[in-house]
Amino acid sequence: MEAKFKVGERVKVMQAFPLGHVRTPYYIRGCTGEVERVCGSFPNPEELAQMRDGLPAIPLYRVRFRQAEVWPDYRGAAKDVVEIEIYQHWLEKA
Amino acid sequence: MSEEQGKYQPLTYFQMMEVSLRELLVEKGIVTEAEVSAEVEAMRERTPERGARVVAHAWIDAAYKRRLLADGSKACEELGLEVGALKLVVVENTPEVHNAIVCTLCSCYPRMLLGIPPDWYKSRNYRSRMVREPRKVLSEFGLEMQEHIQIRVHDSTADMRYMVLPMRPAGTDGWSEERLATLVTRDAMIGVALPRTA
């Protein structure tokens, strides 16, 4: 599967709540960040957990989020960030 | 052993599941008891000294450091370290940036370089708070981070594994790679401590 997003591009994590084994943490759903790097493609863990092959492999990104935007009451420095791996099907263009 | 530990305790749910699964796999001829023991031994042999070797090598060889930051897995293989299928991402501390690793979903950890994770790394406390109030958690580890330093928390959620490349301590000019490696602790490579000072 082709990578839809490039390094530096703004992306938004889907606000979805599917059942099953999901590797997108709750706290980051609905947040907007910037692609830090494209990690390559990997079998979909949501499918692997159901004993299926998880293919086609899905592009995986490291996305950088500003902590102040993730936690409205964040008390650290304004420039602090959290970086998370997110699969392409959880992202949309921001 | 305390008196409490010496007493008979019934197996927990997950211990029971492990025993049942292992016995079934052996019974069906999929693995042998010896293979299970060998894997446990191999796991025990992987210690943070492996990661320390990588860090010390990056400290003395700038070209290696560049390769390590570009492709962690490949750079480890250069040193003869087997990293397996998971990809290693090495993140570099600088005077402006401090990195720390957590896995909020479970307890993903760069076992290939740091061995078996400490219990606190798997605790709910660390996993939930490291991402939410990293400066407070770091201060509980004895690390006060100044305001001008950016804290980068890496939540290890999928197929990457992370290791922090700490800054080389001052006063170590001319040190051998082996001697430098003795300064690199497990916690410094997780990002909750700095290396030992010279």
Residue at A71 is within a domain: yes
Total of domains in chain A: 1
pTM of the model: 0.91
- Contact at CB, B155 and A77, closer than 8 angstroms: no
Chain A hits for B151, CB-CB cut-off 8 Å, are 67, 76-77, 80-81
Residue at A50 is within a domain: yes
- Contact at CB, A77 and B151, closer than 8 angstroms: yes
pLDDT at B4 over 70: no
Mean pLDDT score, A5-25 = 95
Closest in A77, A82, A86 to B147, CB measured? A77
Helix axes B49-60, B62-70, angle to 10 degrees: 120
Q: How far is A65 from chain B (nearest CA, A)?
A: 10
Closest in B150, B151, B157 to A85, CB measured? B157
Residue at A5 is within a domain: no
- Contact at CB, B159 and A25, closer than 8 angstroms: no
What residue numbers bound the domain in which A76 lies? 10-93
Is the CATH number of domain B49-190 3.90.330.10?
yes
Please report, as a single letter, which amino acid is at residue B15. Q
Q: What does the pLDDT read at residue A1?
A: 86
Domain coordinates in residue numbering, chain B: 12-45, 49-190
Q: What does the pLDDT read at residue B103?
A: 96
Chain A hits for B104, CB-CB cut-off 8 Å, are 25, 27
B24-65: per-residue pLDDT in tens? 999 999 999 999 999 999 889 899 999 999 999 999 999 999
Cβ burial A43-66 (10 Å sphere, 16+ → b, else e): ebbbeeeeeeebeeebbbbbbbbb
Tell me, what CATH number does A41's domain have?
2.30.30.50
Main-chain phi, psi angles of A69, to 5 degrees: -90, -25
Main-chain phi, psi angles of B10, to 5 degrees: -65, 155
A&B contacts, CB < 8 Å: 75
Q: DSSP state, B171? A: T
Q: What does the pLDDT read at residue B2?
A: 58
Chain A hits for B149, CB-CB cut-off 8 Å, are 77
> Which one of A85, A90, A91 would you mutate to disrupt binding with B, by most B Cβ within 10 Å of its Cβ?
A85
B111-131: per-residue pLDDT in tens? 999 999 999 999 999 999 999
Q: Between residues 136 and 195 of chain B, which touch chain A (CB distance below 8 Å)?
A: 136, 147-160
B99-110: per-residue pLDDT in tens? 999 999 988 999
Residue at A2 is within a domain: no
CA atoms within 13 A on the CB side of B138: 26
Main-chain phi, psi angles of B139, to 5 degrees: -65, -30
Main-chain phi, psi angles of B89, to 5 degrees: -110, 125
Q: Which residues of B are catalytic?
A: 103, 106-108
Chain A hits for B132, CB-CB cut-off 8 Å, are 27, 71
Question: How many CB atoms lie under 10 A from the CB of residue B13?
Answer: 7
Helix boundaries (H) for chain A: 45-48, 67-70
The radius of gyration of chain A's CA atoms, rounded to the nearest angstrom, is 14
Residue at A1 is within a domain: no
pLDDT band at B84 (very low <50, low <70, confident <90, very high): confident
Q: Between residues 27 and 46 of chain A, which touch chain B (CB distance below 8 Å)?
A: 27-28, 39-40, 42, 45
- Contact at CB, A79 and B150, closer than 8 angstroms: yes
